[in-house]
Structure 1
Amino acid sequence: MLPAPFPQPVTAQPEDFAGRIAFHAAATEVAAEARARLAARYGDVPADQAAAIVALGGDGCMLETQHRLLGRNLPVYGMNCGSVGFLMNDFREDDLPQRLAEAQAAVLHPLRMRTVDAAGAAAEALAINEVSLLRETRQAAKIRILIDGKLRLPELICDGILLSTPAGSTAYNLSAHGPIVPLGANLLPLTPISAFRPRRWRGALLPADAEVVFEILEAEKRPVAAVADYTEVRDIRRVEVREDRGVTLTLLFDPDHGLSERIIAEQFTV
């Protein structure tokens, strides 16, 4: 039997996955057709009976699958049926149980976002990639930043700001010119989006256990939304973010193309 939760390093045999694979496909024709072929070949069980989940699509499909499985710590092996597929393995139909048995596990912890909106209502969400604050109108946002209870930036005028996980540092964070962070670095990149003032502030690298608080200034005039991956809360007044080490996510990668290697290689991509 395959031990649970999935350890690192993984010791498994192809037969551990026989009849114990669950497939989740993105809402595209290519992914749906791939799922039908794979299910006919390997079976398709409910997630609560599975030793591993195989996600078919792009990175968005991987994030959606992980969000569906939060709290279960089931390992997810992605196969790319989308575009970029940074979090996915190459798509091949042959030898899937063997690939699962040989896969290397990357263990991740999401960010927990807590928000308070204009009506005083509180909300929570988890982010595997990043928590981002974004202006809602034509006017720039004004945001105050506190780290571990200490005021660090009294006023940031910007289109927004994001706090990323290491796994998400190659996504929106990189597009916003933030640094790529290796998985084992225990750091979280804090990256402004189109900062106007302070003009030369390029963000910060924070310890993984830091608590980051964003307070929205002039919120009525300059409304701001907070987004944890794809969960959005509008008209916020305050956002608290920190890594939640009580929640574990396990991604599986082929041995020659693990997530740590991808993150390092991304820094040399031109």
Structure 2
Amino acid sequence: MPEGALTAKTVKMCFIGHDRPAAQETLAELKDRYGNHDVEKCDVIVPVGGDGYMLDVLRAHMHTGKPFYGINRGTVGFMMNDARLEELPERIADAEPTIIHPLVMTATTMGGETVTATAINEVSLFRETRQSARIRISVNGKVRMESLTCDGVLLSTPAGSTAYNLSAHGPILPISAQMLALTPISAFRPRRWRGALLPRDASVTFETLESDKRPVSAVADNQEVRDVIRVEARENRDISMTLLFDRGQSLEERVLREQFDY
């Protein structure tokens, strides 16, 4: 076994849970059965909740270097494991790891404020009113689309490609793909543009046109910035997060299955 690998006999777990009753009930059972350790002293962080809660926990603890093993007490649980309490140390020790990297978003508002946020799934721009948004898109400093008239546009990581990106008819990306997905949301002009696949080191800049008339918000996962005029987004390879999944249920396998689900 590689040095530093988790073992069922010695693994120390930090359980944290969403405030929903179902998650809190499971959280209490887990603590009672296996004990609990602080984030600083644990080997693995165990979020109990749904996918949204998992994103919150990842953002809060991404710099710890600790792996994450989610237990699903939400609805979909795409990033989580089944809520079985038995043999949890053994399951964690035998789990399949997946390494993901987040996006960093830098948004500038009409008032001149600069806001930086991190996204595990995607950075999205949305129209704020009944008026469609008009957005100029540049990749690595070169304008690639002078004006996209739309409800919005998003840049997705492979991990997030099966989430909102897929709902917006964007492509599913294998977790190991060295790519990002740029996907329009209800594009009006050009109507037939379906987006682009970009290399993982691409830096994408969105500039809002006619901002006073067509206000736009930017969202990094669920962190919203209103009235933006410029948004830059890129992958941050300096941050690595390890997600653990039960054997045979890896994130790579789930993404592959999603492509054949109809």
Q: Same fold (TM over 0.5)?
A: yes
Deviation at 1:3, TM superposition (A): 5.9
1:175 alignment partner, one of 167, 172, 182:
167
Q: Give the helix-richer structure, 1 or 2.
A: 1
TM-score (normalizing by structure 2) = 0.98
Aligned: 1:49 with 2:14: no
Q: How far apart, in 2, do the equivalents of 1:13 and 1:46 lie?
A: 18
The residue correspondences of 1:83-122 to structure 2 (distance < 5 A) are 83-122=75-114
* CA distance in structure 2 between the partners assigned to 1:40 and 1:212 by the alignment: 47
2 CA distance for matches of 1:221 and 1:227? 20
Q: Secondary structure at the match of 1:201?
A: coil
Is the 8 Å Cα contact of residues 16 and 51 (structure 1) preserved in structure 2?
A: no
Give structure 2 stretches of 5+ with no counterpart: none
2:6 and 2:43 in contact (8 A); partners too: no
AA partner of residue 158 (structure 1): C
Question: Partners of 1:142 and 1:173 in 2: how far apart?
Answer: 19
Consecutive aligned runs of 4 or more in structure 1 exceeding 6 Å deviation: none
1:188-214 CA distances to partner (integer Å, 9 max, x unpaired)?
010000000000001000000000000
Q: State the shift of 1:16 in Å.
A: 2.5
Instruction: Give ranges in structure 1 of 5+ residues lacking alignment.
Output: 5-10
CA distance in 2, matches of 1:185, 1:70: 21
Q: So what's the TM-score if we normalise by structure 1? A: 0.95
User: In the comparison of the two structures, how many residue pairs are matched?
Assistant: 262
Paired position in structure 2 for 1:15: 9
Partner of 1:8: none
Aligned counterpart in structure 2 of residue 72 of structure 1, from 59, 64, 88: 64
Shift of 1:121: 1.3
Aligned amino acid, residue 211 of structure 1: S
User: What is the CA deviation profile of residues 64-98 of structure 1, one whole-angstrom value per residue up to 9, with x for unaligned ones?
Assistant: 11011021121110111111000111111111110
Q: Which amino acid aligns with 1:221?
A: K
Q: Which residue of 1 aligns with 2:24?
A: 32
Mapped to 2, the partners of 1:224 and 1:3 lie a distance apart of: 49
Identity of aligned residues (%): 53
Letter in 1 for 2:9: E
Q: 1:140 aligns with which of 109, 132, 138?
A: 132
